[in-house]
Structure 1
Amino acid sequence: MNPFVSGTLPRAEPAAPYPLEPELERRLRGLTQLDVVARVAAGIAHDLNNVLTVIETYTGFVAEHPLEPSQRRDLEVAREAARRGAALTAHLLALSRPTTSETRSVDLNDLVLGLEGVLRRVLRSGLHLVVEAAGAPLPVRVDPTQIDQAILHLVLNARDATPDGGTVSLSLRNSVVGPGHPLSRKLGPGTYAVVVVRDTGVGMDAKTQARIFEPYFTTKPGDAAGLGLVLVEETARKFRGAVHVESTPNQGSEFSLYLPLATLAEPEHAGAKVSPTAPVVLVVDDDATVRAAIGRILTTRGYGVLEAADGAEAAQLASSYPGPIALVLCDLVMPGMGGRDAVERIRASKPEARVLFTSGYPFDRTHTVAAEAFVQKPFSPDELTKAVEHCLTQPHPTQTGPETAVVLLVDDEPALRSSLVRLLSECDVTTLTAKSSLHALQILGERHVDVVVSDQFMPGMDGVRLLETIRERFPRCTRILFTAHPSSDIVLEAVNRGGVHKVLVKSMHPIAIRDEIAYAAEAAHHARGGPPPTIRRPSRS
């Protein structure tokens, strides 16, 4: 039997370093540096968003009192500065790493005009930026941060294509796509909002245009990664749009980002409601000023407030508090015990408590448990109040978990996903599928999963990197690598980085694959209170 099918992985000595091609080595080094930058940026944003939350909160308190016109103007200047600070952290995070999508209806005019200041700062001297909004609203349903990032990539591309100075113009319009339109094969018929980025630079020939959306393809000297336009096209596709390019050598290029028109959401009325039942909220945050700000928001709205500086203190406070706790408002990332583990301990003594997670980090939606709410720092008093009210009015999520074990299958090949689902349909497990690593992380953020079975080679984040991420964020999840290439190097990497519990080979007999996955799922489910496995433990011989 293939040794990689065994429940105990063989011990192997690390392989000698394999010499990489210089180009591949340069790209890998660049990606590593980008990852470091992303981690630093996320940490800075977390701390800065805590500061901005306090500023936004206390200026909001002042705004509730009668003020002289000059005082109110001064206060609005301060509040606007805090909002600009929040926008800058969002742009910083957009540059470092894409976040989980949060779509809403926005006017593309407002989005682009709000980005104009950032765009002017990234252009070198000698380049003139012209921004022209459309004459009418252009409502689109998108994640504003991801569209900001896409537009920024297009402007940076235009900047790099205009090394000797010139003009970069950014204009907005609507366009009807129908028969004969250049994008009619990519887009359905209808009216689209269009962002056009035009430069007067070096332009491109047809051969270059045919390759610009290939990963790692670049005409730029130095350490350019060749991923900017790939991200732009992926973002457009994600929101049912497309990118069109026209270019002539020595005459410049024009990139048009098409997004389907939507309906603008009606603005909600400001103002907070005071709960007549005075429910108790447990506020858990390691930043004392943030706790104080949140506590004041909630007490002025009629809530009772308990405060804890970390997860352990929160669990102890919840255990000793004699009355019910309606809501736990908990920061996700704290020293020592994190927010997710703290909530599990709190619910051991207060199962009735609902949960509202908060954080200054941009990636934390992938940490939240199923059916729970999340509010991003910085937030205003009204935003927090609405989030709390919404959370308290929702049906209480079940705490018993699914009746059967849950398996998540991750593979970019639809036929393979379908065959595994069919195999596992014969077992008492719930099967979910994901077509990519990012899709898998989204599912893990939305519900509990007992076992993840991941392919190794997938576009974007590969299987080992995915399992490594799951090991960090969801350590209780059993991890299985499913590969057609069970080399010693891959197994060692999977064990050392991904902490895999098992490696399965695609050439195994289908029944053996089914039993291995089903047993692992039922064993994991049993470990958290489910029934014992009904599948006989697969042989290790």
Structure 2
Amino acid sequence: MAVLFQDVTERRQAELALRQLNETLEARVAEALAERRVLADIVEGTNAFVQVVALDFRWLAINSAAANEFERIFGPRPKVGDSMLDLLADQPENQAQVKAVWARALAGEDFVEVGTFGDPGRDRRAYEMRFGVLRDENGDQAGAFQFVYDVTERLHEQERLQEAEDALRQAQKMEAVGQLTGGLAHDFNNLLSGIAGSFEMIGSRLSQGRMRDVERYLSAGQGATRRAAALTHRLLAFSRRQTLSPRPIVINRLMADLVDMVRRTVGPSIAVETVAAGGLWPTLVDSNQLENALLNLCINARDAMPDGGSITIETGNKWLDRRSALERGMEPGQYVTVCVSDTGVGIDKAIQERVFDPFFTTKPIGEGTGLGLSMVYGFAKQSHGHVRIYSELGQGTMVCIYLPRHFGEEEIEEAHPAAPFPQPSAGETVLVVDDEPTIRMLIVDTLNELGYSCAEAPDGPAGLKILQSGARIDLLITDVGLPGGLNGRQVADAARALRPDLKVLFITGYAENAVLNHGHIQHGMEVLTKPFAVADLAGRVDRMLRARP
């Protein structure tokens, strides 16, 4: 007997490996199919509208929610293989809208958009649509897919919320207006009582021939008038309508005179210190109004330190990046800062957001008007800057004014020697244009006493007619707000076209700053704000007419 043996170990191992591979492959396929079924069930069961579209606008896939919604708002029910353009062929407007939004995705754009779709005769809804690009195994675009959510109710809720916020802001505005007008009525009634009472007493004393008391009542009436002018000045600053004459300055140059004035105001129990930054940038600002704002801050600081303390006035350069500017509610960029800090009682954080509101004050009744900080805030905003407050109870307060950096040279103001009281003129003629007869009378009488000849007009067209007559006019004094279709700036521009060297003095009651180009007026033009002292008017006219190039 012969026995033949053959080694089949490798074949047997290969068979076993193949069997294991088949078993593993079956398990992997079953696992993959189960995973796909789970994903399919999720896509099918979600309330999102899911669609997959080929490059020819035919559906490759669409879940039931999307098919139901399409049928509800458009009419026909889509299925895989249909063309959305064909289904909407009898609805050209809807077809164009759907084609436009899908064309962007089929052109390769990933985007999110909110739009309103649907046949007006059926229903129209707002949808948030998220589009993505569908690619094949080679990375080439095969179509686009879309996930959509109905956001109609969310948008309606946002609209209702916006309406509620608008109503709240309107209510707050009316409350502020009521507070403002109430405070104004109180203060102005007091001031008008002082003015009217002074006039009555002057009239009474004159009729009795008792001249000795007239001076006292004149002084009382003039003092009330000055306080009324200061009140309107603060209101205009808060409303950002005061007249500003900005020029490029380095604030450090104002510090010496300002500190002297502050020390005289706050008294000897409070130390006043300054920290002037080296290399301080110029800023475009009205120096007089800046000094007024800083003086207001120093007075507030004084009142916060009844037992004495210290005030520090500090300047600096600040470069705010986007994050820092956002924290301060400002625009990014370069700013010049001037800060006033004190060692006083501080301000509760609960009321810090209200300290810039008009007539809001932490002082006892009768000891504060509540307009100091609001004036500072309005001035900073009108100067294209901002103001910030930092305070801790028992630690003190710091208020910082931020003013934009001026990219240019500083303008050094020429010193004018103190002028004596104006001497009688040599026949110069002044044209006065103002719609208020009382003001025209006062100006004309004042100038006549000084020897000037005067012509007057109640409105712009009448004043321009005099200028066109060829009569001698050496100076034009005009109100900015005039009736008759021509404001004071337009009259001045027309006058300069006829008489290029004519000097112009604008007078204004509430500083129509935009009309005056925000203080940027031509050479030979100046601004005088009402109410003004007669002596100031006379001195200004004399200086302008005596000026030489």
Task: Judge same fold: TM > 0.5, yes or no.
Answer: no
The structure where helix makes up a greater share of residues is: 2
Which of these two proteins has the greater Rg computed from alpha carbons? Answer: 2
- TM-score normalised by L of structure 1: 0.42
- TM-score normalised by L of structure 2: 0.42
